Structure 1
Amino acid sequence: MIELASVIGDLREELDRAVGAAEGEALRFELGPIELELSVALERSAQAQAKVRFLVVDSGADVGLGKTSTQRISLTLKPTLAGSHRPVAVSGNAEPNER
């Protein structure tokens, strides 16, 4: 399992690479809303300052016993570039190691 914040951070890094790859390309794609549907485990700590963590569950992974329950959540993210109101464009080119 991985924390939801890490999943979103990894997605941000991938999108940032795609935006960078679009520089100077003739063919680009406008980046619209991103919809994620995830299975998450809600884990509540038993400490005095109880905190709930959202952990993304791998497909086929068993969630351990304890104070963990699994839920499905849907998120819609609308990507923007800091300081810009222009549409975000990404390249259709794959990195050499992604082909």
Structure 2
Amino acid sequence: MIELSTVIQDLREELEQSIAEAQGKNLQFELGAIELEVSLALEKSAGGKGKVRFWVVDLGAEGAVRSNAVQRVKLSLQPTVEVAGVRTSAFVSGRAGSLEQ
């Protein structure tokens, strides 16, 4: 399992790489809403602050986690970029990476 924040950070890095590769290209694609559906396991740590962490469950590992502890969550993310202090839609281009379809 990996933390949800790591999944989102990896997605952000892939999108930033695609945006950088699109600079100067005639053909670009406007990046619309991103829907990410994941299975999450919750973990609450004991102690003074009682932090709750969300773990993304690997498809093969779901059987190892109690089924009542796993929740399916769909996140809708609207990506934007900041250009000269103004937030605007992102445009991406370039070849698909090895794990992209």
Question: TM-score if structure 1 supplies the norm length?
Answer: 0.83
Q: Residue 31 of structure 1 contacts residue 87 of structure 1 at CA under 8 Å; is this kept in 2?
A: yes
Higher helix share: 2
Q: Residue 43 of structure 1 contacts residue 69 of structure 1 at CA under 8 Å; is this kept in 2?
A: no
Output the CA distance in 2 between the equivalents of 1:58 and 1:73.
14
Report runs of 4+ in structure 1 exceeding 3 Å deviation: 62-65
The alignment covers a number of residue pairs equal to 95
Q: Per-residue CA shift, 1:14-62, capped at 9, x if unaligned?
A: 0000001111112111100100010000011132321110000000114
Q: Per-residue CA shift, 1:43-97, capped at 9, x if unaligned?
A: 11132321110000000114446xx8110111100001123343211004235xx
- Give aligned-pair identity as a percent: 52
Question: TM-score if structure 2 supplies the norm length?
Answer: 0.82
Output the CA distance in 2 between the equivalents of 1:63 and 1:46.
22
Unaligned runs of 5+ in 1: none
Match of 1:91 in 2: 93
RMSD: 2.1
**What amino acid does structure 2 have at the position aligned with 1:17?**
Q
Output the CA distance in 2 between the equivalents of 1:17 and 1:29.
14
Structure 1 position 70 matched with structure 2 position 70? yes
Output the CA distance in 1 between the equivalents of 2:86 and 2:32.
15
Match of 1:2 in 2: 2
- Equivalent residue runs for 1:27-42 within 5 Å: 27-42=27-42
Output the CA distance in 1 between the equivalents of 2:6 and 2:44.
18
Unaligned runs of 5+ in 2: none
Output the CA distance in 2 between the equivalents of 1:86 and 1:9.
20
